[in-house]
Amino acid sequence: MANKHLDSLKDFIILQEKMGRFFEGDNDSAQSISGAWAPAADLYETSDMIVVQLELAGVEEEDVKIDLWENYITIQGERSLKGRQENYLCMERSYGPFQRTFRLPAMVEEKGVKAEFQQGVLKISMRKRDEPGHPVLRVSIR
- CA 21 distance to own-chain centroid: 21
pLDDT digits over 36-55, tens only? 789 999 999 999 999 999 99
More confident residue, 24 or 91: 91
d(CA 51, CA 97): 23
- Mean pLDDT within 57-69: 91
| CB neighbours of residue 94 within 10 Å | 20
Cα(12)–Cα(66) distance, integer angstroms = 33
What is the per-residue pLDDT across 30-39, written as a single tens digit (0 to 9) for each?
333 444 789 9
For 118-128, the pLDDT digits (tens) are 999 999 999 99
Q: In order of start, what are the domains of the chain with their CATH numbers?
A: 36-128 (2.60.40.790)
Give residue 124's pLDDT.
Answer: 95
| % of the chain residues with pLDDT over 70 | 65
Per-residue pLDDT for 132 more than 70?
no
